[in-house]
Amino acid sequence: MSLVVTKNFGNPQSWTLDSYRAAGGYTALARVLREMTPEDVSDLIKASGLSGRGGAFFPTGLKWEFVRKDPKTPRYVVVNGDESEPGTYVNRYSLELDPHLMLEGMIIAAYACHATLGYVYIRGEYGLAHERTQAAIRDAYAAGFLGSGILGTSGFDFDITFRRGAGAYIVGEETALFNSLEGKRGNPRYKPPFPTNVGVWGLPTAINNVETLSAVPDIMRNGAEWFQDLGRGEAAGTKMYCLSGHVAEPGVHELPMGVTARELIYDYGGGVAGGRGLKGFKPGGASSAPLTPNELDAALEPKSMGALGTIMGTGGVVVFDETTDMVDVAYRDALFFEEESCGFCIPCREGAPNLVQICERILHGQGTMDDLELLEELGASMMASFCGLGQFAHQPVRGAARRFREDFVAHIEGRPIPAAAS
């Protein structure tokens, strides 16, 4: 199958401008500037079915159209590279191995949005990604792909500022990222107004994930239908999935959107490590509720995951072998969200520590069946949280308590936890 966003990863010195151009890089941009109007670009992206790879899957072309139609200027394109979801490391690969692909997509986005300014915001811990992305930006300026009058056009100017994060998961939330860019505390803002109208510095902003933008150049080259057809069923394009946990071969795989978990874990990841049985898996990072082996054949795409009561999320698939205590998994997830809550709203700030406490009680044999009920109530209240962090923080714990109820009950009743079903 065609690779879209990882196609250059194997090229020597793939992160350099020379290597990227040798692989045909920046020709899509040149063609867009020569042949297409901004409307053409966003229409094509809309038709391709490309949607936000950060986990929200909002239609990218529509987002760009909204930004372009807002009369306020300057307009911004912001790259969200604050990839912090546990079990997720796809952006890191892209930024380390092919930053120019993302930049080319970003410049095309700017053209489509009538944007003149951009930020690339990358997670603070991604040292090599900073280095290579900053070098890529420098080289792109030198080569005339950024700055004033890009590629000799008159009137298409686009300038990029690079920023690194300071270590907060919540800043991956787009509006928290804007606050961080503005030098403020990284708390989310309420929506509406949406970033397309009121984004960074209060101005229209297209904020896109690294992977989303990386898909853009090839869509420009090969057309909407080509990209659409790369996905399985109704899902469009490819997705970078990454495997971690008790899997034989952890790593990143670009596969058709909608590939099944079974294919990913067994065909591409070599199955469960040590040949052990599978207890369960998370489809999309820490904030997704875990699934059981019975659900291995579900498509890893937003709709089918939603139907199972979990989320597609970032495509960070985490594998748990048959020896895993799913209460412990839930506990560790809860600890993460307790630590990463920004502290802004009551349900998340005060709720997350209770997820931890309930898990702790159960793990230490002090839990009761009432705790499982309390978990449901707590989760319902956390749904009232200000942003996605709190709205999802309880899902992995609640999800585990529903699908792996036996583990919870075993702890409560002082029995050994059951082995995996498969």
Partner 1 sequence: MSSETVTLTIDGQEVQVPRGATVLQACESIGVEIPTLCTDPRLKPYGACRMCVVEVQPGPPRPTASCTTPAGDGMTVVTDSQSIKDIRKHVIELQLQHHPLDCPYCDQAGTCELQDEVFDQEIFQSPYETVPKAHPEEILNEVILINHNRCILCGRCVRMCDEQIGVRALDFVERAVGTFIAPAQHEFMDCERCGMCIETCPVGALLSRPFKHAARSWQTEKTASTCPHCAVGCSLLVESRHGSVVRTRSNGLEEPDRGILCAKGFFGHSFVNSGERITEPLVRRNGALQPASWSEALNVISAGLREVLDAHGPQAVGVVGSPNTTNEDNYTLQRFARAVLGTNNVYSQSSGLHAAARTLRAVLGSAAGPRSQSELLESDVILVVGADIGQTHNVVGAHVKQAARDDGRTLLVATRLASGLDDFATVAARVRPGAEAVLLSALAGADIPNMHALTGIDADTLTAMRSRVQAAGTVAVVWDTGVWTLGKAEAIAQGAANLALAHDGVKLFPLPERANAAGTFLLGMAPDLLPGARPLSDDEARRQASDAWGAPVPAEPGLAFDDFIDGPMQALYVMGEDVVGGSANPQGAQAALERARLVVAQDIFMNATTEAADVVLPGATFAEKGGHFTNFEGRLGRLAPAIPPVGKARPDWEIVARVSAAMGADFGWRSHEPISTELAGLMQRPSLPGSRESAAVNGAAPAPADGFVLATEQHLYTAGVSGRRADSLTLMLPEAVAELNAGDAQRLSIAHGDRIRLSADGGEVNLKALVADRVPPGVVSLPDRFLEAAPRQLDPRAPDGAAVRVHKV
Which of 223, 174, 169 has its CA nearest to residue 45?
Answer: 223
Q: Which of 298, 385, 398, 408 binds partner 1 (CB under 8 A)?
A: 385
Count of residues in contact with partner 1, rule CB under 8 A? 31
Which of 269, 237, 266 has its CA nearest to residue 253?
Answer: 269
Q: Please, what is the minimum distance in Å from the beta carbon of residue 244 to partner 1?
A: 25
Binding track, positions 304-343, relative to partner 1; x by CB under 8 A? ----------------------------------xxxxxx
Q: Tell me: does residue 192 bind partner 1 (CB under 8 A).
A: yes
Q: Which of 59, 147, 223, 353 binds partner 1 (CB under 8 A)?
A: 353
By CB under 8 A, the residues from 193 to 252 that bind partner 1 are none
Q: Which of 118, 315, 351, 367 binds partner 1 (CB under 8 A)?
A: 351
110 or 387: whose CB is closer to partner 1?
A: 387
339 or 406: whose CB is closer to partner 1?
A: 339
Q: Are 119 and 163 in contact (CB under 8 A)?
A: yes
Q: Tell me: does residue 176 bind partner 1 (CB under 8 A).
A: no
Q: Which of 386, 400, 409, 420 binds partner 1 (CB under 8 A)?
A: 386
- The window from 119-127, 279-287, 383-391, 408-416 that contacts partner 1 (CB under 8 A) reads 383-391
Strand 159-164 relative to strand 278-282: parallel, antiparallel, unpaired?
Answer: unpaired
Q: Tell me: does residue 287 bind partner 1 (CB under 8 A).
A: no
Q: Tell me: does residue 175 bind partner 1 (CB under 8 A).
A: no
- The window from 197-205, 280-288, 376-384, 403-411 that contacts partner 1 (CB under 8 A) reads 376-384
- The window from 30-38, 110-118, 217-225, 379-387 that contacts partner 1 (CB under 8 A) reads 379-387
What DSSP line would sit under 314-348, residue for residue? Answer: T-EEEEEETT--HHHHHHHHHHHHHHH--S-SHHH
Q: Please, what is the minimum distance in Å from the beta carbon of residue 168 to partner 1?
A: 7
Residue type, 338: E
Q: Which of 378, 397, 412, 417 binds partner 1 (CB under 8 A)?
A: 378
Q: Tell me: does residue 104 bind partner 1 (CB under 8 A).
A: no
Dihedral angle sign, alpha carbons of residues 200, 71, 37, 46: positive
Is residue 109 classed as helix, strand or coil in its secondary structure? helix
Q: Please, what is the minimum distance in Å from the beta carbon of residue 356 to partner 1?
A: 10
Q: Tell me: does residue 345 bind partner 1 (CB under 8 A).
A: yes
CB neighbours of residue 223 within 10 Å:
14
Q: Please, what is the minimum distance in Å from the beta carbon of residue 419 to partner 1?
A: 32
29 or 168: whose CB is closer to partner 1?
A: 168
Q: Please, what is the minimum distance in Å from the beta carbon of residue 166 to partner 1?
A: 11
Q: Tell me: does residue 354 bind partner 1 (CB under 8 A).
A: yes
Residue 358: is it exposed, middle or buried by C-beta count within 10 angstroms (0-12/13-18/19+)?
buried
CA pair distance 36, 55, nearest whole angstrom? 29
- Report how far apart, in Å, the C-alpha atoms of 140 and of each of 25, 127, 160, 335 are: 11, 20, 10, 42
Q: Which of 347, 367, 396, 399 binds partner 1 (CB under 8 A)?
A: 347
Task: Please state the length of the chain.
Answer: 422
Lay out the sheet containing 316-321: strands in order across.
Answer: 251-256, 238-245, 316-321, 278-282
Q: Which of 248, 273, 383, 410 binds partner 1 (CB under 8 A)?
A: 383
Q: Are 203 and 32 in contact (CB under 8 A)?
A: no
Q: Tell me: does residue 350 bind partner 1 (CB under 8 A).
A: yes
CA pair distance 310, 302, nearest whole angstrom? 9
Q: Please, what is the minimum distance in Å from the beta carbon of residue 375 to partner 1?
A: 11
Q: Please, what is the minimum distance in Å from the beta carbon of residue 203 to partner 1?
A: 15
What DSSP line would sit under 187-245, residue for residue? Answer: ----SSSPTTTS-GGGS-EEEEEHHHHHHHHHHHHH-HHHHHHHSSTT--SEEEEEEEE
Binding track, positions 135-174, relative to partner 1; x by CB under 8 A? ---------------------------------x------
Question: What does residue 368 show for φ and ψ, rounded to 5 degrees?
Answer: -130, 170
CA pair distance 80, 1, nearest whole angstrom? 27
- The window from 67-75, 270-278, 346-354, 408-416 that contacts partner 1 (CB under 8 A) reads 346-354
Q: Which residues bind partner 1 (CB under 8 A)?
A: 168, 185, 190, 192, 338-347, 349-354, 357, 374, 377-378, 380-381, 383-386, 391
